[in-house]
Amino acid sequence: MAERISSHFNQELESVRSEVMRMGGLIEEQLKAVLTALSSTNASGLTAVIDGDSIINELEVGIDDACQNIIARRQPAASDLRFVLTVSRIIVDLERMGDELKKIALSAHELFMHNKVTSTQLYDTHRLAAMTAPMIRRSLDAFARLDSKAILDLNEADNKLDTDYRNQSRMLISFMIEDPRNITTCMEVMMMNKAIERIGDHAKNIAEHVVYLVRGVDVRHTPLEKVKADLED
């Protein structure tokens, strides 16, 4: 009997893990559609991104319900409890990634439908968005492989994304100062860029959650040098 209960518990945990990866896969598909749209200024694929956000939201609710049921029925301890708590945190970041992608899709759709911008003008926005693709993949791999050291790679990638985002913001402000007719379009692009920057933040957050899962240490507000030292122990 005990073995059967343990087997069912492991199946429940594995099901939750699979659903998290499925949720992450949908985020990656949404990002791919956004990248395609930005490079072609074709709004046709953006509707699926906008509508697809509801599926991501439903997955978050479903996974969260499963986690609550596991805690209530199984009363997990130690690493199993950390796993359930980590999942609860990760799905929040994934859901927010979906929200940011929806924001980008809505803004891009508005610009494309009114012919306010060209693919050349969105080159840097596309480049920023492309930088988040390997970050999302790395964070999901870290969860799947229990790779706590992924935080180091993702912190570096996030710093680079933040720097490029700030540089692009300064350029857009200059365009608006030079010609006030650019203000409306530049503001839309700036909001898209900010959403992209936030996606990078959420990818880094996931890596931080993995550190908690693997080592039982919360590093969300810990200086990077201390994190490095802890990971080397």
Contacts of 2 (CB under 8 A, 6+ apart): none
Does 16 or 229 have the greater pLDDT score?
16
Q: Is a pLDDT exceeding 90 seen at residue 227?
A: no
Give per-residue pLDDT as tens, 40-51.
998 988 999 999
Global pTM value: 0.94
CA separation for the pair 28, 14 (Å, rounded): 21
Task: State what percent of residues in the chain have pLDDT above 70.
Answer: 97
Q: Is a pLDDT exceeding 90 seen at residue 109?
A: yes
Q: Is a pLDDT exceeding 70 seen at residue 4?
A: no
CA distance readout (Å), 202 to 18, 119, 196: 20, 27, 10
CA separation for the pair 178, 188 (Å, rounded): 17
- Find the domain containing 228 and state its range: 1-232
Q: Mean pLDDT for the chain?
A: 93
Q: Is a pLDDT exceeding 60 seen at residue 1?
A: no
- Please state the rounded mean pLDDT for residues 117-133: 95
Q: Which pLDDT score, from 0 to 100, does residue 2 have? A: 45
User: Quick check: 123 and 115 in contact, CB under 8 A?
Assistant: no
CB atoms within 10 A of CB 62: 14
Q: Which pLDDT score, from 0 to 100, does residue 232 have? A: 75
* Domains: count for the chain: 1
Give per-residue pLDDT as tens, 52-101.
999 999 999 999 999 999 999 988 888 899 999 999 999 999 999 999 99
CATH number of the domain that residue 127 is part of: 1.20.58.220
- Please state the rounded mean pLDDT for residues 130-135: 98
